[in-house]
């Protein structure tokens, strides 16, 4: 095989069709921006297209084009967009896509923006077959048990070449029985494509310009038209409604989970575990039921995540444990423990063997090695040294209504339960704060900070203010009992 038939050989251009209205999604968001495994459908299409190293990549936009173009500017600024002004069929869409490619020659790949499971490897193999067989057009096909709704592949008498593609509405009864369908993905010789598009007419049941009619044109001109049958048929499945989106999400997730289990990750319940494409997991990670790992989350060797945990762009260190927690844009150090019922907001950084416990919320908080925030605490805009212990019910009062300020707690200091630390304030290393204090001034090294009023008990208050109540009766009984005990 010569160099230009290698699967990784580049193509002149790829055209991605992404102009459809997607009305069955019933959404204010463009269908192409709905997600599978944390990435948009269009992002998948662009990634697959990049696998054949196109000299130019064109996305044909139409309905909700502003959304689509803004998204492309974020994920693929190198892409050129072309506009299909009116929905006149796939042939017209490809015509629109050729406008910025007026001088393109060689091979042009045409693919769809709503087939998220289509792999780059499949496109490379399609291009390789196209070149190896010297074909003018090569069509990606697949066989499915229920071909309803798809264009049928009609082969020539020998079965090796594609004679034509017949759309569902134009099929005869015999053609409806054909189980080989058009996946909507092609490789064209640029000259044949342009000539075929120029001959298109809308003489069909839908009154549209069919790209598939270029196949008939190419055959009439004596060109070879081949079809590559895709064994993994779900790669050709598009997203037209929410049910299909859910199905492809689940199937793609199943494949991601299988990959990680093969790599040495324990996933206790694959049915309730979800992992995005950008996640990285080490060997001997354990994922418990109800875990969702999203974005660029990474989990180091021996860590356990879950149950019932969602981590978004979180770095988890070796041997850490994260239980019933929601975390985002945070770092959890080696051997750290988090949860249950913890909320790690962006900017949280936990040191080695640090602890964030039950019903604790952190935000922009750095918790040092071995430090503990065990329960019922809001820890926002805080810097905790090593070996710090934060008592239950502590509030880091970081916001005065205008400005957010930072609280610093030094190494091996102890904050008593039910304390309010009013930022900005510094608790020095080796200091104590008495339980129930409201601290608004710095506490020095080795000092005990106490900021609470002296307790005062008011005699006979219940008898005067709550006479006739069960509380008053209980108090009277207790007073009598105490008096009798003294008398004895």
pLDDT digits (tens, 9 = 90+) for 341-376: 999 999 999 999 999 999 999 999 999 999 999 999
**3-state class of 483 per DSSP?**
helix
Q: How confident is the model at residue 2 (pLDDT cuts 50, 70, 90)?
A: very low
pLDDT greater than 60 at residue 435: yes
Domain definitions of the chain by residue range: 3-236, 264-449, 458-488
Fold of the CATH domain 264-449: UDP N-Acetylglucosamine Acyltransferase; domain 1 (2.160.10)
pLDDT tens digits, 271-296:
999 999 999 999 999 999 999 999 99
Identify the CA nearest to 224 among candidates 137, 311, 154: 137
Query: E strands along 19-134, which residues?
Result: 35-36, 39-40, 56-61, 80-83, 107-112
pLDDT greater than 80 at residue 3: no
Mean pLDDT of 426-451: 97
d(CA 183, CA 257): 26
d(CA 462, CA 316): 54
First to last CA, the chain: 110
* Beta carbons within 8 Å of 187's beta carbon, 6+ residues apart: 11, 107, 108, 109, 110, 126, 127, 130, 135, 137, 138
pLDDT score at 9: 61
Q: How confident is the model at residue 87 (pLDDT cuts 50, 70, 90)?
A: confident
pLDDT greater than 70 at residue 433: yes
Catalytic residues: 375
**3-state class of 165 per DSSP?**
strand
pLDDT tens digits, 148-205:
889 999 999 888 899 999 988 899 999 999 999 999 999 999 999 999 999 998 877 7
pLDDT score at 484: 85
Beta bridge mates, 82: 60
pLDDT greater than 80 at residue 234: yes
pLDDT score at 6: 46
pLDDT greater than 50 at residue 5: no
Asked if the domains 3-236 and 264-449 are classified in one and the same CATH topology, the answer is no
What CATH number does the domain located at 3-236 have?
A: 3.90.550.10
Mean predicted lDDT score pLDDT of the chain: 95
- Say if CB 141 and CB 20 are below 8 A apart: no
């Amino acid at each position: 095989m010569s160099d230009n038939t290698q699967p990784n050989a580049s193509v002149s251009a790829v055209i991605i069709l992404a102009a459809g209205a997607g009305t069955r999604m019933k959404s204010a968001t463009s269908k192409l921006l709905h997600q599978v495994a944390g990435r948009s459908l269009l992002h998948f299409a662009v990634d697959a297209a990049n696998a054949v190293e196109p000299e130019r990549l064109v996305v044909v936009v139409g309905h909700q084009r502003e959304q689509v173009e803004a998204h492309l500017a974020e994920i693929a600024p190198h892409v050129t967009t072309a506009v299909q002004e009116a929905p006149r069929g796939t042939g017209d869409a490809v015509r629109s896509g050729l406008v910025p490619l007026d001088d393109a020659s060689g091979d042009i790949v045409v693919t769809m923006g709503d087939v998220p499971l289509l792999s780059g490897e499949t496109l490379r193999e399609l291009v390789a077959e196209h070149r190896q067989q010297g074909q003018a057009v090569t069509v990606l096909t697949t066989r499915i048990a229920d071909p309803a709704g798809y264009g049928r592949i009609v082969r020539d008498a020998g079965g090796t070449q594609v004679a034509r593609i017949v759309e569902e509405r134009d099929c005869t009864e015999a053609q409806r029985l054909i189980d080989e369908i058009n996946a909507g993905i092609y490789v064209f010789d640029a000259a044949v494509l342009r000539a075929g598009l120029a001959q298109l007419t809308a003489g069909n049941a839908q009154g549209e310009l069919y790209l598939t009619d270029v196949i008939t044109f190419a055959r009439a001109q004596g060109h070879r038209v081949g079809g590559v049958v895709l064994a993994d048929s779900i790669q050709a499945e598009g997203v037209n409604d929410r049910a299909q989106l859910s199905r492809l999400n689940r199937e793609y997730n199943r494949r991601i989970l299988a990959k990680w289990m093969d790599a040495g990750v324990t996933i206790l319940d694959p049915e309730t575990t979800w992992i995005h494409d950008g996640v990285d997991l080490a060997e001997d990670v354990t994922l418990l039921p109800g875990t969702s790992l999203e974005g660029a989350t990474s989990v180091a060797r021996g860590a356990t995540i879950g149950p019932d945990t969602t981590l978004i762009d979180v770095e988890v260190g070796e041997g850490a444990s994260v239980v019933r927690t929601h975390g985002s844009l945070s770092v959890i150090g080696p051997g750290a423990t988090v949860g249950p019922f913890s909320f790690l907001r962006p900017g949280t950084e936990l040191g080695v063997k640090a602890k964030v416990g039950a019903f604790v919320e952190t935000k922009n908080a750095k918790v040092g090695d071995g430090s503990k925030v065990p329960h019922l605490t809001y820890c926002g805009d805080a810097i905790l040294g090593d070996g710090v212990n934060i008592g239950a019910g502590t509030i880091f009062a970081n916001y005065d209504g205008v400005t957010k300020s930072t609280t610093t707690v030094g190494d091996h200091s102890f904050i008593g339960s039910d304390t309010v630390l009013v930022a900005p304030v510094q608790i020095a290393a080796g200091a104590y704060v008495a339980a129930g204090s409201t601290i608004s001034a710095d506490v020095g090294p080795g000092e005990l900070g106490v900021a609470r009023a002296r307790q005062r008990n008011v005699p006979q208050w219940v008898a005067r203010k709550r006479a006739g109540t069960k509380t008053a009766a209980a108090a009277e009984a207790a007073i009598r009992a105490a008096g009798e005990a003294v008398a004895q």
